[in-house]
Amino acid sequence: MSIAPPTSTDEVPQAAAPEPKSRGPWAPLRPLILRLHFYAGLFVAPFVLIAAVTGFLYAGAFQAEKLLYSHELTVPAVGDAKLPISEQVDAARKAHPEGTVSAVRPSPEDDATTRVMLSGVEGVAATHTLAVFVDPYTGEVRGALEQYGSTGALPLRTWIDEFHRDLHLGENGRLYSEFAASWLWVIAAGGVALWFSRRRALRKVRGTSGRRRTLGLHGAVGVWAAAGFVFLSATGLTWSTYAGANVAELRTSLGQETPSVSAAASGGEHFGHDSASATGGDGEHGVGLDKILSAARAEGLGDPVEMVPPADASSAYVVRQVQRSWPEKQDAVAVDPATGEVTDVLRFADHPVLAKLTRWGVDLHTGVLFGLVNQLALMVLTLCLILLIVLGYRMWWQRGRGSSFGRPIPRGSWAQVPPYVLVPLMAGVAVVGYFIPLLGIPLAGFLLVDIVLGEIAHRRGRRTAV
């Protein structure tokens, strides 16, 4: 005669009395959630660990960048008055005549340099620009560095950013980070549910030892950090390959996509888009960068701003605020290059709600919304995630070495869930899996494997009983 495996999923010390059986749908759900939490943590954790380590490095890269590139980012001495922006751009072009000017960021602070971004430079990736740093008081070129992204990431942060995003493997590498983000919120939410389903006496850490102490630390840290993990997961998915595309499509269908200022010039004498016009030029090539900037200032666009030259002969300059720290400055205007008149104005205050939330969420995720405080919080959160993964593997090791605290969860636990709970649960999982395919596909695989292994174990048990 064989002894059936226990259906309770609480891992209780041998000396402790068993917990009372819970009632309602939670009783059969808990073994399923615990089994899912265990296997997800076991197989997804390596991907999450890489994302956590690289995320920690990225959060610290902001301050490291200021130290490493201080020569390029700052001026040796603050002067009495800044040169016209057109003269600063001319100085950059004399030092670096290669490529074309794709954007200009005038010095946003008294001790900061002006950035002139060049695209189409040989040796610089097509998605990157060469940023030329100019002293706004003297016109001295302080250096040139490759730059990426709207946050102005320089080589150090760019390398870490790309490592965090795709492991430097290109588009295929992005699947790793999307896989980690797709499962992080599931693991976190499942862990919280399991922790609070335990008796209060079994949650304590003090006075315990062995696997029970490890579990206590794992659960306590996880509960305190769970909200942060869900946030990182949700915001990370907004710009992922597959889930991000579904989110963008949903926002578009709801009329909540991020608007953009119209760059179509209206009237006036248009001109060809060449290097002379892009660098401000003189009257025959338009009103020049200085008047373009003055027109944007008149519309209330304070520093920091970025000036983007016309894309073609019928387009306008676009001047937009690029402050991503709180309070965010994201207003933008279009200015006719021939007349210097503002042809369109877009205020961040007028953006749809979901567009604002997406902007704030992404900036909080990347550590720019609240500056140093934001970056320190992200570093603490990633350290918590790393600790949880280490503790999780330690629990697995302790169980494998014959710990008296806990027994493995029986396979096929999902089959114990009553149909009135299982059917809507599976429907919800199908909907979520559709929008987050790197969650849905592996989850379907998990259920299939669990069904097969559960059936195999059940048949072996019946043969043993005979």
pLDDT digits (tens, 9 = 90+) for 405-454: 445 555 666 666 778 777 888 888 888 888 999 999 998 887 777 777 77
d(Cα 10, Cα 195) in Å, to the nearest integer? 10
Per-residue buried b or exposed e for 395-430, using 16+ beta carbons within 10 Å of the residue's own CB: bbebbeeebebbeebbbbbbeebeeeebeeeeeebe
Q: What is the pLDDT of residues 18-63, one digit of tens each?
A: 444 445 556 777 878 888 888 888 889 999 999 999 999 999 999 9
Q: Looking at the structure, do residues 335 and 374 belong to the same domain, yes or no? A: no
The pTM assigned to this predicted structure is 0.86
Q: Looking at the structure, do residues 287 and 420 belong to the same domain, yes or no? A: no
Q: Which whole number is the average pLDDT over 113-131?
A: 96
Q: Which whole number is the average pLDDT over 151-165?
A: 95
pLDDT of residue 276: 41
Domain assignment present for residue 356? The answer is no
Specify the range with the lowest mean pLDDT, choosing from 93-97, 280-284, 416-420.
Answer: 280-284
d(Cα 308, Cα 419) in Å, to the nearest integer? 59
Domain assignment present for residue 6? The answer is no
Q: Looking at the structure, do residues 48 and 187 belong to the same domain, yes or no? A: yes
Q: Looking at the structure, do residues 429 and 387 belong to the same domain, yes or no? A: yes
In the chain, the number of structural domains is: 3
Which CATH number fits the domain that encloses residue 105?
Answer: 3.10.450.40
Residue finishing a domain among 121, 152, 183: 152
Q: Looking at the structure, do residues 107 and 179 belong to the same domain, yes or no? A: no
Domain assignment present for residue 21? The answer is no
Q: Looking at the structure, do residues 185 and 326 belong to the same domain, yes or no? A: no
Q: Looking at the structure, do residues 123 and 272 belong to the same domain, yes or no? A: no
Q: Which whole number is the average pLDDT over 274-292?
A: 59
Q: For residue 278, what pLDDT band results from cuts at 50, 70 and 90?
A: very low
Q: Looking at the structure, do residues 36 and 108 belong to the same domain, yes or no? A: no
pLDDT of residue 267: 57
Domain assignment present for residue 206? The answer is yes
Domain assignment present for residue 11? The answer is no
Q: Looking at the structure, do residues 174 and 55 belong to the same domain, yes or no? A: yes
Domain assignment present for residue 407? The answer is yes
114 or 421, higher pLDDT:
114
Residue finishing a domain among 317, 350, 383: 350
Q: What is the pLDDT of residues 124-145, one digit of tens each?
A: 999 999 999 999 999 999 999 9
Q: Looking at the structure, do residues 245 and 268 belong to the same domain, yes or no? A: no
Residue finishing a domain among 117, 152, 187: 152
Domain assignment present for residue 219? The answer is yes
pLDDT of residue 18: 46
Q: Looking at the structure, do residues 55 and 80 belong to the same domain, yes or no? A: no
Domain assignment present for residue 211? The answer is yes
Q: Looking at the structure, do residues 283 and 146 belong to the same domain, yes or no? A: no
Q: Which domain holds residue 265?
A: 259-350
Q: What is the pLDDT of residues 218-269, one digit of tens each?
A: 999 999 999 999 999 999 999 899 999 999 999 999 999 999 999 987 654 4
SS (H, E, C) the chain: CCCCCCCCCCCCCCCCCCCCCCCCCHHHHHHHHHHHHHHHHHHHHHHHHHHHHHHHHHHHHHHHHHHHCHHHHECCCCCCCCCCHHHHHHHHHHHCCCCEEEEEECCCCCCECEEEEEECCCCCCCCCEEEEEECCCCCCEEEEEEEECCCCECHHHHHHHHHHHHCCCHHHHHHHHHHHHHHHHHHHHHHHHHHHHCCHHHCCCCCCCHHHHHHHHHHHHHHHHHHHHHHHHHHHHCCCCHHHHHHHHHHHHCCCCCCCCCCECCCCCCCCCCHHHHCCCCHHHCCCHHHHHHHHHHCCCCCCEEEECCCCCCECEEEEECECCCCCECCEEEECCCCCCEEEEECHHHCCHHHHHHHHHHHHHCCCCCHHHHHHHHHHHHHHHHHHHHHHHHHHHHHHCCCCCCCCCCCCHHHHCCHHHHHHHHHHHHHHHHHCHHHHHHHHHHHHHHHHHHHHHHHHHHHHHC
